[in-house]
């Protein structure tokens, strides 16, 4: 990640992934003027096309989630349970419009090269403008890469950082 210059100063090498313990998808605009975000699954991949660094037990904190009591809840953990195409395994936000965010705790600092997203059943739940961010402490985040004007999609779509 760092290379020593001839003067011995450590400088960040351009294009080299920085490892973070916490990763956050920060969504500022949804497709088609959507208000509620709905994501079936997220993968944080250590390499492009590689293995998902999240597991079903990865802690997920979200900005808000829909809870209909006995009729079901839709927390952020629905995005790491490896279940897709099930209405009971989706994160749905509650209340008003974006920003919406989901924060993943990988336990240790790890590099993420690609984020793959499987959105909910309607394209209005699809992120359009969003930022992938990293953090060492889970509170103060650094923007890793911003995506904007992304067209709606329905299957998996991968975003390389």
Cβ distance to Ca ion smaller for residue 20 or 92 = 92
Burial (Cβ within 10 Å: 0-12, 13-18, ≥19) of residue 106: buried
Stretch that binds Ca ion, among 1-9, 71-79, 105-113, 140-148 (CB under 5 A): 71-79
| Ramachandran area for residue 49 (φ above 0: left; ψ -120 to 50: alpha; else beta) | left
Stretch that binds Ca ion, among 21-29, 41-49, 64-72, 135-143 (CB under 5 A): 41-49
Q: How far is CA 109 from the centre of its chain?
A: 16
Three-class secondary structure of residue 31 per DSSP: helix
Rounded least distance, CB 29 to Ca ion, Å: 23
Does position 87 bind Ca ion by CB under 5 A?
no
Does position 89 bind Ca ion by CB under 5 A?
yes
Peptide bond before residue 62 is cis, with ω within 30 degrees of 0: no
Does position 41 bind Ca ion by CB under 5 A?
yes
Rounded least distance, CB 14 to Ca ion, Å: 30
Does position 73 bind Ca ion by CB under 5 A?
no
Q: How far is CA 60 from the centre of its chain?
A: 10
Q: How many residues bind Ca ion (CB under 5 A)?
A: 8
Does position 52 bind Ca ion by CB under 5 A?
yes
Stretch that binds Ca ion, among 68-76, 87-95, 136-144, 145-153 (CB under 5 A): 87-95
From edge to edge, which strands make up the β-sheet containing 60-62? 60-62, 100-110, 20-30, 127-135, 142-147
Does position 76 bind Ca ion by CB under 5 A?
no
In the DSSP assignment, the letter for residue 93 is -
């Amino acid at each position: 990640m760092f290379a020593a210059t001839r003067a011995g100063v450590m400088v960040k090498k351009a294009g080299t992934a920085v490892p973070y313990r916490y990763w956050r998808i920060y969504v500022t605009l949804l497709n088609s003027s959507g208000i509620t975000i709905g994501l079936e699954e997220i993968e944080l991949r250590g390499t492009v096309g590689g293995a998902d660094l999240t597991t079903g037990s990865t802690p997920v904190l979200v900005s808000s989630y829909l809870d209909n009591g006995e009729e079901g809840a839709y927390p952020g953990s629905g995005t790491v349970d490896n279940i897709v195409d099930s209405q009971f395994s989706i994160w749905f936000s509650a209340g008003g419009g974006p920003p919406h965010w989901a924060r993943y705790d990988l336990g240790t600092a790890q590099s993420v090269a690609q984020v793959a997203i499987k959105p909910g059943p309607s394209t209005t739940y699809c992120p359009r403008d969003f930022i992938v961010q990293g953090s060492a402490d889970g509170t103060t985040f650094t923007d890793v890469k911003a995506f904007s004007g992304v067209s709606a999609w329905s299957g998996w779509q991968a975003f390389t950082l």
